């Protein structure tokens, strides 16, 4: 009996975790094998026994779902445009490392491994190994290579973004969830390619061109809109949207793509320019082409290619060219994709304009681009694709005409500067606007601008020609930013700069409009006759009421305003226009607690009705890539004016990193008006252990996975050893099984080099001059402040003690001296007055007393040079040093000074200055305020009156 031969190749391991990690596709899926071209990957063959002698392996690739192409993989490296592989055998396993060319076709592949006999016959073959291949912007040889890692993180990896809308004067933000890595999105993107007219008409030719990013971009530009094919979105720019969804309701691309796929490639209703651009951005980022959404404010739609947008009004200021194609939009969105253009002359690489909004036919289909941005800036309109149309979008003239009742056309205004303003995109560095106008246009009035216009066949712009015959009159429209649901005022100022008065007729018209200038209905009209005095300003106020504009306002909440001034005796009128956006209320969103991966969170969403009428059918729409799919929460009952409603919504974060939650509110009267963009990040990855993506280079410089090849038995041995070590240190609360080691796909050299670089950086950082001078920390500063405070307290205490001692001394000195003076006076009164004493002896006695007073004050009296002058000097001292009271008593200045000091201690501070000034006027000699008694000189004391005559003096010696 014959038994079936045992298969040599028993199983195949795709190593999806490792491969997807180094190919940066793990966000798309963790289990399916998803790769980027131009970068190697590895698979493992499990063998029941070694390969038989002289047997060998062959690899065959099938491209596409329907085997559109079959190719054999070379066993050695050949030219760069061929697949090749390397084979390594270790015990019962074989590691196959495959290398794909950098220009490989993108899409689904199937790999079959064949075991060949020495004679070239197939002995065994594996089941088909399926994987997907994408563009690789990290690979230098790929045409979509972008060298800036920060831009790659934004334009490939970021699943959220901002789209700018509104008007050039009031730029608004729309937060959008691209969701290019959400479940099934990649499959839907390839489904879009398969449903294109090119694929349906000739699938083999279509498949052969899928390695060209230019071809892929044109297909996506055509397939995002549903005009003429099985595209994704059908456009509509006016209500009603009852058989679909209002374009303003969408907040993300994923619901649109899933609805299209689920409906069997049936177009989703409805979209407008930002929706087309956002969905195209999602698809192209998913394919691996760096892409961003661009907004052009005051964008022109030029059909006839004359670089001029003609706008016609009748005498009632109603537009009469509504059926024509030329128009100016408040804003228009398209996308830019990064790639090299090998099909164009040198200098056209980089950002390429793609416009998926169906406006004009390009080679028989509704698509636009890719067109190099540099070609638009330089005026190279012969460059493909659609350069003249895109050039007009940012450079066309606006010419406004008035058609009189007799059919005559009068040119009112030529505006050569307002088109193509504030061309914007989301910044790489955060959620704010980046102006990229300089990429499309040279600065106004420059020589380069003039050269570009000459090359493009457009006249050189001149300052706006407005009212050349009315140079003396100026008209300005002023307004605030009103809130929807309220009345607001518009002010029209007319200034007469001339020296003559003027009579004029002013017509002001307010009307509702869409963002692409389609009139929805008239709100208010006002006609006034004006008298304009010379050199004065006249102001007219128009009150725009909610009850009037709510009847016709569009879903874009935009009010247009026209002011038309006709002056008596002049042929040329003045016309001014303005677009006034109505702001909408915001939502209040709270997410308490810290976000945890795979742990449920609850958000609270609140909204207050700002309108004077109830709202019906309120519904909140919540969406966030990596958080939850689009979810609706309905509000029960009506929402009364001023009423606040609150709903709660639970969700579970499914992916790590910073995620963004978008919430929108809709009702019958207030649609898609409230939108919040909430960051939720810092997920704690306790429940799921995620390996960080390695920074692997593109091209042939990728990670060599063969270096990390180990057998299953070695892995089992490692697990066993790790479990034994874990049992030694495991705590009761820890899991029984040892945690898996984090996988590091880098080689040993790369890891050692990283450690070396870190140590070198630490060494250099340590000896940098800025790190050798260290500032004080908070603790040191507090300590020094406390030391300084203690020193101040000690110094203050010392000064207080000195003041106290000085005060005590002064008080005791004054009291002691006063007592001595009183005792001396009483002794003098008891002695008989010596009337016979000569005037000279009296003078000598006074001189003697004065000499003692001066000695006590710290002064020294020197002897006179001659005896004859003593009498005169003593007489002067007598007159200056003593006074006679009303009773005939004579007092020395020292006696008065001592008593004055004693009294000063009892006087209030305010009385001191007055006493000092009085004494100074009398020639009083004061004791020094800081005098300190250090001793009593011999012979200096109080003497009785009888001894005065016997006392010696300098003059009697």
C-alpha closest to that of 651 among 676, 622, 690: 622
Other residues' Cβ atoms within 10 Å of the Cβ of residue 308: 18
CA 34 → CA 14, 108, 217, 355, 860, distances in Å? 10, 9, 21, 28, 113
Gap between the Cα atoms of 325 and 359, Å rounded: 9
Gap between the Cα atoms of 91 and 282, Å rounded: 45
Is 332 one of the catalytic residues? yes
Other residues' Cβ atoms within 10 Å of the Cβ of residue 834: 14
3-class SS string, 492-554: EEEEECCCCCEEEEEEEEEEEECCCCCEEEEEEEEEEEEEECCCCEEEEEEEECHHHHCCCCC
Gap between the Cα atoms of 213 and 345, Å rounded: 17
Label residue 256 left, alpha or beta by phi (over 0 means left) and psi (-120 to 50 means alpha). Answer: alpha
Could you give the 3-state DSSP secondary structure of residue 328? Answer: strand
Is 183 one of the catalytic residues? no
Give 418's DSSP letter.
S
State the residue for tokens 């691996």.
288
3-class SS string, 722-756: HHHHHHHHCCCCCCCCCCCCCCCCCCHHHHHHHHH
Check: CB of residue 588 under 8 Å from CB of residue 704.
Answer: no
Contacts of residue 188, defined as CB under 8 A and 6 or more positions apart, other chains included, come to 257, 258, 260, 261
How far from chain centre, in Å, is Cα 188? 33
Gap between the Cα atoms of 98 and 312, Å rounded: 64
Check: CB of residue 487 under 8 Å from CB of residue 479.
Answer: no
Check: CB of residue 383 under 8 Å from CB of residue 348.
Answer: yes
Whether cis (ω within 30° of 0) applies to the bond prior to 411 is no
Check: CB of residue 582 under 8 Å from CB of residue 604.
Answer: no
Gap between the Cα atoms of 412 and 405, Å rounded: 16
Backbone angles phi, psi at 59, to 5 degrees: -120, 135
CA 173 → CA 251, 535, 673, 725, distances in Å? 12, 42, 12, 56
Q: What is the dihedral of CA 873, 876, 877, 878, to 10 degrees?
A: 120
CA 315 → CA 312, 402, 407, 409, distances in Å? 10, 7, 11, 11
Is 519 one of the catalytic residues? no
Q: Which of 23, 301, 332, 538 is catalytic?
A: 332
Check: CB of residue 33 under 8 Å from CB of residue 93.
Answer: no
* Residue 376 buriedness (CB in 10 A; 0-12 / 13-18 / 19+): buried
Contacts of residue 408, defined as CB under 8 A and 6 or more positions apart, other chains included, come to none
3-class SS string, 609-676: CCCCCCECCCEEEEEECCCEEEEEEECCCCECCCCEEEEEEEECCCCCCCEEEEEEEECCCCCCCEEE
Q: Which of 194, 229, 355, 397 is catalytic?
A: 355
Check: CB of residue 159 under 8 Å from CB of residue 658.
Answer: no
Backbone angles phi, psi at 169, to 5 degrees: -90, -25
Give 281's DSSP letter.
H
Q: Which of 217, 273, 673, 674 is catalytic?
A: 273
Element of type H or E holding 465: strand 465-466
Gap between the Cα atoms of 134 and 691, Å rounded: 22
Gap between the Cα atoms of 749 and 752, Å rounded: 5
Active site residues: 273, 332, 355
């Amino acid at each position: 009996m014959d038994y079936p031969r045992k298969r040599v190749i028993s199983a195949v391991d795709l190593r999806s975790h490792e491969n997807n990690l180094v190919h940066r596709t793990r966000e798309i899926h963790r289990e399916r094998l998803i790769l980027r071209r131009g970068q190697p990957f590895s698979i493992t063959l499990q063998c029941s026994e070694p390969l038989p002698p002289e047997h060998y392996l062959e690899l065959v690739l099938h491209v596409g779902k329907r085997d559109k192409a079959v190719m054999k993989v070379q066993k050695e490296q050949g030219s760069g445009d061929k697949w090749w592989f390397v084979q390594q055998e270790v015990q019962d396993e074989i590691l196959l490392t495959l290398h794909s060319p950098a220009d490989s076709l993108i899409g689904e592949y199937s790999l079959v491994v064949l075991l060949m006999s020495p004679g070239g016959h197939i002995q065994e073959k594996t089941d088909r190994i399926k994987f997907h291949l994408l563009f690789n912007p990290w690979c230098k040889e790929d045409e979509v290579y972008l060298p800036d890692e920060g831009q790659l993180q934004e334009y490939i990896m970021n699943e959220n973004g901002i789209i700018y809308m509104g008007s050039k004067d009031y730029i608004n933000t729309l937060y959008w969830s691209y969701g290019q890595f959400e479940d099934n999105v990649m499959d839907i993107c390839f489904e879009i390619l398969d449903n294109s007219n090119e694929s349906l008409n000739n699938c083999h030719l279509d498949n052969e061109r899928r390695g060209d990013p230019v071809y892929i971009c044109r297909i996506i530009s055509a397939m995002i809109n549903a005009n003429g094919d099985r595209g994704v979105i059908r456009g509509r720019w006016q209500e009603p949207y009852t058989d679909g969804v209002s374009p303003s309701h969408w907040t993300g691309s994923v619901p649109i793509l899933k609805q299209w796929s689920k409906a069997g490639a049936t177009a989703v209703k409805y979209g407008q320019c930002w929706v087309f651009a956002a969905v195209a951005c999602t698809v192209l980022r998913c394919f691996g082409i760096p892409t961003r959404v661009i907004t052009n404010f005051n964008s022109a739609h030029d059909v006839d290619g004359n670089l001029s947008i003609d706008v016609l009004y009748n005498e009632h200021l109603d537009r009469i060219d509504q059926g024509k194609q030329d128009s100016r939009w408040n804003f228009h969105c398209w996308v830019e994709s990064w790639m090299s253009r090998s099909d164009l002359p040198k200098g056209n690489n980089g950002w390429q304009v793609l416009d998926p909004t169906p406006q004009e036919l390009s080679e028989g289909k509704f698509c636009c681009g890719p067109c190099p941005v540099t070609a638009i800036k330089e005026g190279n309109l012969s460059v493909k694709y659609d350069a003249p149309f895109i050039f007009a979008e940012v450079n066309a003239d606006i010419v406004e005409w008035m058609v009189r009742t007799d059919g005559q056309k009068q040119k009112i205004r030529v505006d050569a500067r307002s088109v193509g303003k504030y061309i914007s995109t989301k910044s790489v560095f955060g959620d704010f606007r980046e102006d990229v106008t300089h990429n499309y246009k040279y600065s106004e009035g420059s020589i380069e601008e003039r050269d570009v216009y000459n090359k493009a066949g457009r006249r050189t712009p001149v300052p706006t020609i407005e009212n050349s015959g009315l140079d003396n009159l100026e008209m300005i429209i002023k307004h605030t930013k009103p809130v929807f649901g309220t009345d607001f005022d518009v002010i029209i100022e007319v200034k007469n700069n001339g020296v003559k008065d003027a009579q004029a007729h002013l017509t002001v018209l307010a009307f509702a409009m869409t963002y692409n200038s389609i009139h929805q209905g008239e709100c208010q009209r006002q006609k006034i006759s004006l008298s304009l005095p010379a050199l004065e300003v006249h102001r007219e106020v128009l009150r725009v009421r909610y009850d009037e504009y709510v009847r016709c306002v569009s879903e874009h909440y935009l009010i247009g305003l026209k002011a038309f001034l006709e002056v008596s005796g002049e042929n040329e009128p003045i016309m001014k226009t303005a677009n006034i956006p109505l702001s909408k209320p915001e939502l209040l969103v709270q997410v308490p607690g810290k976000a945890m991966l795979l742990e449920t969170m609850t958000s609270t969403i609140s909204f207050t009705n700002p309108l004077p009428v109830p709202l019906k059918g309120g519904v909140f729409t919540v969406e966030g890539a990596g958080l939850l799919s689009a979810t609706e929460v309905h509000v029960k009952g009506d929402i009364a004016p001023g009423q606040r409603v609150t709903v709660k919504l639970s969700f579970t974060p499914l992916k790590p990193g910073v995620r963004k939650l978008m919430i929108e509110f809709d009702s019958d009267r207030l649609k898609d008006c409230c939108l919040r963009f909430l960051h939720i990040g810092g997920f704690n990855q306790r429940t799921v252990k995620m390996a960080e993506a390695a920074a692997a280079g593109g091209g042939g410089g990728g990670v060599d996975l063969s270096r990390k090849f180990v057998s299953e038995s070695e892995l089992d041995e490692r697990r066993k050893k790790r479990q034994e070590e874990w049992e030694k240190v495991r705590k009761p609360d820890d899991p029984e099984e040892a945690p898996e080691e984090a996988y590091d796909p880098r080689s040993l050299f790369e890891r050692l080099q990283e450690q070396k670089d870190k140590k070198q950086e630490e060494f250099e950082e340590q000896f940098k001059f800025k790190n050798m001078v260290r500032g004080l920390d908070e603790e040191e500063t507090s300590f020094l402040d406390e030391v300084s405070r203690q020193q101040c307290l000690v110094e203050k205490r010392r000064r207080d003690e000195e003041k106290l001692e000085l005060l005590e001394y002064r008080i005791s000195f004054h009291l002691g001296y006063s007592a001595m003076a009183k005792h001396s006076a009483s002794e003098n009164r008891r002695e008989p007055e010596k009337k016979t004493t000569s005037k000279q002896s009296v003078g000598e006695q006074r001189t003697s007393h004065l000499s003692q007073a001066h000695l006590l004050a710290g002064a020294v009296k020197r002897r006179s040079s001659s005896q004859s002058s003593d009498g005169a000097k003593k007489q002067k001292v007598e007159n200056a040093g003593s006074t006679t009271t009303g009773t005939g008593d004579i007092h020395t200045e020292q006696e008065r000074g001592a008593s004055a000091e004693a009294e000063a201690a009892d006087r209030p501070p305010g009385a001191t200055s007055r006493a000092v000034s009085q004494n100074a006027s009398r020639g009083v000699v004061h004791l020094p305020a800081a005098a300190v008694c250090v001793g009593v000189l011999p012979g200096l004391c109080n003497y009785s009156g009888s001894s005065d005559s016997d006392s010696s003096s300098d003059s009697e010696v």
